Chain A
Amino acid sequence: MSAHPSSSSTIALQHYPNPPRSLSLTSPPSQGPGYTQVQVRQSFGGQQTYAAAGGGQASYNSTTYGAPAHAGSPAPTNYPNTPAPVVGQEDQPKKKIDWPISVRNYVQRSFLPDNMDPSVTRAEMESKLKETISQANDSGVMYTVNWETMPLPQQMIREDRARAKLVSLTKAAPIYPVGLAPSNNSMAKGKKRKSTDDKDLAAEASSPPPWRNGQSQSLMSRTSYASPEKRHPVEEAPILKNVSKSQKDKRQKQGDGGYKSTYQVPTQPMNTGPVVGTCMDLEKRFLRLTSAPVAALVRPEIVLRQTLELLKQKWKKDQNYSYICDQFKSMRQDLTVQGIKNEFTVEVYEIHARIALEKGDLGEYNQCQTQLKALYQLGLKGKTIEFKAYRILYFIHTANRTALNDALADLTPTEKKELPIKHALDVRSALALGNYHRFFRLYNETPNMGAYLVDKFVGRERLAALCNICKAYKPDVPLRFVTEELYFESDAEAAQFILDYNPDLLQERQEKIYFLTGKAGKLFEGHRAEAFSKIDIKGQI
C-alpha cells in the first residue's frame, strides 16, 4: 500500500488505491430507517431455514424449494389470486399467432354496425374479444370451437354485467379481477372434439360456456378442484398441451405443411395479469421457473423491501456471496413475475450489481446492468450516471465494440460531462489510442466502484504497454519507470510481473535495477495476444 492512500472501508479492499470504492451497499442514501426484521423471522421455521451463514451451496439442498413448485405449499385454492393455469407456458419467447379465418370473421361480425350496442364501448368490446380469443387459443380449441355460433362480445358483456350485479347483491362469491379467475380449460368443451381425455371432459361437462367464466366460475372451480388430480393447475398443462399437439398433427395431415405450428403456442395468456404474491417469508431460495409462478411462493413488494434490508445487513455481516447472490436472484424473480418495475426494482438491481462487481462476478453483474439499462429507459430514477459509467467500462473489458458503440450513442451531452461517465470515456479513448500513460493515471482516479471493473483488464493492458515499451525503448529503462508508468504498487510488484514472464530481463547496475527492453523481443506480444483473446464474457462465479 506504499504508493497510494488507503481508506477504511466496509468491504475487504486489498491493494486498491482509492477510497470511494467502499461505497458498495451504502451508496443509495435513502437507506430505509425502518428496518424490521423480527416478526417475519418466525415464518422461516422448518421449511426453508438456511444453514448457518457461511454454509456453502450444498446447505440449500435440504430446503423444500428443490421440489416441484407446489410441494409443501398450501393448495392454491386458498389463494384467491392463484393465476389461471396456462398452456405451454414454458419459457419460450412470445410468439405471434396466425388467427384462423373463422376467428377473424367472428371479430368482423362483432363490429358490424347492426350488431353494435350503444351501452358497450369499443374498448370494452375489444378487451372482451381479446379475452375470448386468447382463451380459446390458450386452451387449444381455437380451431375446434364453432365461431359462427359464438355469442358476440357485446352479448357477453351484457351478460357479465347482469351477473356482476347479481353477485354484488348476494355477495356470494369473492369478486375476482377479470382474467385472474381460474378459468382454464372450460373452453376445451368446444365442439366435436373426440378427445382421449374423456375424464377431463366428464369433469367439465357441466362447466358453463366460455363466455361465462369471467366471474361466476370461482365457486365452480373450487368444487372442481376438489378432485385430487385437479388440485394443481400446473399439472394440467401437459394434458392440454398434448391435445393441442394432436390437433397440430391433424392439421399437418391435412396437408398444409404445418407451417403455422410454431406460432400456435403462446407463452402468456393475454388476459392474465401479473401474479400478486402472498408469500410472507423474507428469504427464499432462487429456483428457475419453468411454469407459471404461484402466488403463494411469491413475495409482494412490501415483503421484498424488508428482504432487501435484511440482505444488506447480512452482506455487511457475513459477506457470504453465494448466499447473497442466490437471494438477490430470487428477489429479482419475484419482482419480475409480479411485473414490479419501479424505483425499488432499480434499487434491487443496483445493489446486486454492486455486490456482483465487488466479487468480480461479471456474469451476474451483466444481467443486472442489462436490466438496469431497460429500467432507466422506462424513466425510472436511479444511479444512472454511476451505472452508465460501469457499462462503458464493462464493454471495454469485454472488448465488445458494437455494444460500446451503442453505449456511446446512448449518452446525452450532459451525461458526457458527468465525472464518472467522462472518466469512463477517457479510459476508453486512452486505450483506443494506446496512451497507456494516461490510462494508468485514470486507473488511479476511477470513481465509485469502477475500479473493480478496471482491475479486470488492467493486467492485459499492462502487457500491451510492455509490448509497446519493449519495442520503443532501447536498450533499457529503469525499473522504476515501469513501476510508475504502469502503476504498480511497488518496484517489487513490477519486477515480479516481468519476472513471471522471463527471469532474465532485469539487470542491476549502480544500485539501480534496469529492465532490458532491447532483449525482450517479441516475448510479451504472445502473452498480450493471449490475454486479449480470452475475454470470458459470461464469466460467472
Chain B
Amino acid sequence: MDSIFDKFAEAQLNRNGYRLAKTLSPDLPNEELYSIWNSCNAHDVRAILKRSIQNTATGMDKLPHQEVAGWVEVYYTYWKAVGELLAVQGPSVAYGKQFQPSSWTKVFAAWTDLLSALIRGYLSQGFEAWTIPCLYVAGKHLRVFAIKADDERNKNSSLDITAGGNFQDDFNPEAEQHAKLEDCARQLQKIFNLCLNDRAPLEESRKWGIYYVTNLQFKTYFKFNSAALSKNVLKAISAGRGDMPPLTAFPKSQQVTFKYYEGILCFLEENYVEAENHLTEAWNLCHKDATRNKELILTYLIPCHLLTTHTLPSQKLLEPYPRLQKLFSELARCIKKGELHAFDLALQEGEDEFVRRRIYLTLERGRDIALRNLLRKVFLAGGFEESKEEGGSPVRRTRVPIAEFAAGISLGSQETLDDDEVECLIANMIYKASKLYTARSRAPGSVYAQLVIALQTNGIQESSFQSCLASSILASLWRWRCLGLQGSTWTTRPLGLMKGYIARERGIVVLSKSGAFPGTGI
C-alpha cells in the first residue's frame, strides 16, 4: 500500500494523470496484489487510506478535504476489488485460503464500485481533469472483467428458458449472454457523459477523455453485436464538436482507433466512399510496427478500394499479412483474370470468414469487376477492323454480337445463361458506370480530392503526401489518377465499368470508341 501512495504523491506533485492511473491498475503480479490486500483489513482500511493520502499530500499544497475523502473512497473500492480479484484467481494463488470463493461477476461488481467512486469524485469532490487517465484504467478493465464474467456465467449455466422476466414479449437470449457487457456499456456511457458535459475551460476540461472512452464504447458495442449503438455516441460527439478540441489534438493512438471504427461504421452502411476516407486516415496515422492494427484496417480498406476504384491489392502490400493473403489473394487473382467460376468458388470457400468479418456482401460485388475483365477480354479478342477514314489506322471492332459475350460468360462462369440474362449482365455493366461516377465526384474529402488538391497546390506537406504514397494501394491509385489528371478533367471522368449501349433488335452491343472499358487502358 505504501508504494501506491508514494506513487500517488509523486503523481499528484507532477500532476501526471497516467502515473496516477497506474496506482489503480489491477494488472499486477499476484504478489503485489496480495501485499496491497494484506496491508490493511476491513476495519482499518479507511483510516489507513485517509492517513496515507493526507500525509503524502503534505509535500505540496494540501489536498482539499473533500478530495481526500474522494480518493479514500476510490482506493477503498480499489482495495476491495483487489480482494475479489485475488479470490477469483483462486487455487493458483497460494494465499487463497483466507478468501471467500469469488467469481468474475463479483470482480466486475467491485470494479464497478471503483468506477462509481471515481465518477462521484469528479462530480462532487473536485477531482481535477488531469486525473482522467484513472477513468481510462477503470473503464478499460471494467470491460475486461465484464467479458470474463459473461464467459464464466455462460459456461456454468445453460440457457435458462424461463429467465428474462419481462411482461412484454421481447426477451432475447443473446442479450442475456452479454448481460455484464451491456452493463459495462452503460457504465462507459456514464464516463462519456462525464467527459462530454464538462463545461470547464478546455485546458482543464475532461473533454480530453472523450475519444479514449468513445473508443472503449465502440469496442464494447461491437463485441456484443450492437454496432448500431455506436451511432448515438458519434451523434453526441458531432453535436458537441464545436466546443471540443479537434481530433488531431488527441493522442495518435486514439485518433487511429476512432478513425478505424468510424470507417467501419460507414462500411457497414455501405457508405464506401466515407469509409474509405476514414480508414485511409487511420492507415496513415497507424504506427508502422502495429502490424495487427494495420491488418485490421486493410481488411476493410481493401474491399472499399475494390468498389470505389476497382483496384486490387498488390502482392507486395499483402506480403506482411499472411492472414490477409489468405483472405484476398485468390479472389484478387480471379477478379484480375475474369474467372467468374473460380471467383464464385473462392467466395464460397471463404464465406464463413467473410461473413464473420462483415465483408462478404462487399466482396461479392467484386464479381462485377471480374465480369468486366472477362467482357474486356471478349472485346479484345474481337480484334481490329479497318478504319472508315481513308488511310486511318485500324480501330477496334466496337460492335460486338451479344452471342460473343454470351460465349465468353458461359466459358468464364461454366454455366449456360440465356441471352436475356447475358444482356442483363451487360446492361448492369453499362448502368453501373454512371452510378459510381456520381458517387465519387460528390466526395470532396476523398483520397482523390486530397491528392488532387495536393498536386494542384504543388507539393504542400510533402511528408504527409509520402506517407500516402507509402501504401502500394495508394501508389497504384496515384499512378492511375495521374493519367486522369493530365487534362485536369479528373472530376468529369467517369470511372465506369463499360461504355456503350445494347441494340436489342440487332442483337449487338455497341461499345464506345474511346474507352469502352474506362480505366483499363482501352
Contact = CB atoms under 8 A, between A and B. Distances in A.
3 closest A-B pairs by beta carbon, nearest first, are A472-B427, A437-B424, A474-B501
B120 A429 contact: no
B424 A474 contact: no
A474 B500 CA distance: 9
B173 A468 contact: no
Given A98-B112, A259-B119, A434-B432, A473 B124 contact: no
B165 interface: yes
A401 B361 contact: yes
B169 interface: yes
B431 A434 contact: yes
A405 B360 contact: yes
B367 interface: yes
B90 to A, nearest CB: 16
Given A468-B431, A474-B503, A255 B355 contact: no
B351 to A, nearest CB: 8
A484 B420 CA distance: 10
B344 to A, nearest CB: 10
Given A409-B355, A435-B424, A435-B428, A98 B170 contact: no
A288 B170 CA distance: 13
Interface string A463-481: 0000111011111011001
Interface stretch (A142-150, A226-234, A331-339): A331-339
A94 interface: yes
Contact of B225 (A293, A406, A467, A481): A406
A118 B261 CA distance: 55
Interface in B146-201: 159, 161-162, 165-174, 183
A259 B167 CA distance: 27
Contacts of B414: none
Contacts of A341: 161-162
A339 B165 contact: yes
Given A339-B162, A433-B365, A471 B434 contact: yes
B364 A268 contact: no
B504 interface: yes
A503 to B, nearest CB: 23
Interface residues of A, number: 62
B268 A408 contact: no
Interface of A: 91, 94, 96, 98-99, 108, 111, 255-257, 259-260, 267-268, 272-274, 288-289, 292-293, 332-333, 335-337, 339, 341, 367, 370-371, 374, 377-378, 401-402, 404-406, 408-409, 429, 432-438, 467-469, 471-475, 477-478, 481, 484-485
B426 to A, nearest CB: 7
B116 interface: yes
Nearest to B267: A401
A109 to B, nearest CB: 11
B167 A337 contact: yes
Among A111, A272, A406, A468: residue with most chain B CB under 10 A = A468
Contacts of B124: 255-257
B227 interface: yes
A407 to B, nearest CB: 10
Given A341-B162, A408-B355, A438-B421, A378 B173 contact: yes
Contacts of B358: 405
A468 B368 contact: no
A477 B504 contact: yes
B477 to A, nearest CB: 25
B165 A268 contact: yes
Contact of B169 (A94, A257, A333, A429): A333
Between A256, A370, A433, the greatest number of chain B beta carbons within 10 A of the residue's beta carbon is seen for A433
21 contacts: A91-B167, A257-B120, A259-B116, A260-B116, A267-B165, A267-B166, A289-B167, A339-B162, A367-B169, A370-B172, A371-B170, A378-B159, A378-B173, A402-B228, A468-B431, A469-B427, A472-B423, A472-B428, A473-B503, A474-B501, A485-B424
Nearest to B226: A402
Contacts of B368: 433
Place the interface of chain B in its size category.
Answer: 35 or more
B420 A378 contact: no
Given A259-B119, A341-B161, A377-B173, A336 B427 contact: no
B292 interface: no
Nearest to A436: B424
Contacts of A255: 124
A371 B428 CA distance: 38
Contacts of A378: 159, 161, 173
Contact of B427 (A98, A260, A339, A473): A473
B431 A408 contact: no
B113 interface: yes
Interface in B398-434: 420-421, 423-428, 430-432, 434
B167 A409 contact: no
A16 to B, nearest CB: 23
B167 A336 contact: yes
Nearest to B344: A429
A272 B162 CA distance: 12
B100 interface: yes
Nearest to A89: B167
Given A91-B167, A257-B124, A405-B360, A437 B420 contact: yes
Contact of A468 (B360, B428, B510): B428
Given A433-B365, A433-B368, A472-B431, 16 more contacts: A91-B168, A94-B165, A257-B124, A289-B167, A333-B167, A333-B169, A336-B166, A336-B168, A371-B170, A378-B159, A435-B425, A437-B423, A437-B424, A468-B431, A474-B502, A484-B420
A498 to B, nearest CB: 16
A483 B397 CA distance: 32
B165 A374 contact: no
Interface string B94-115: 0000001000000001001100
A268 to B, nearest CB: 4
A9 B356 CA distance: 41
Contacts of B225: 406
Contacts of B424: 435-438, 468, 485
A94 B421 contact: no
Contacts of A370: 170, 172
B270 interface: yes
B123 interface: yes
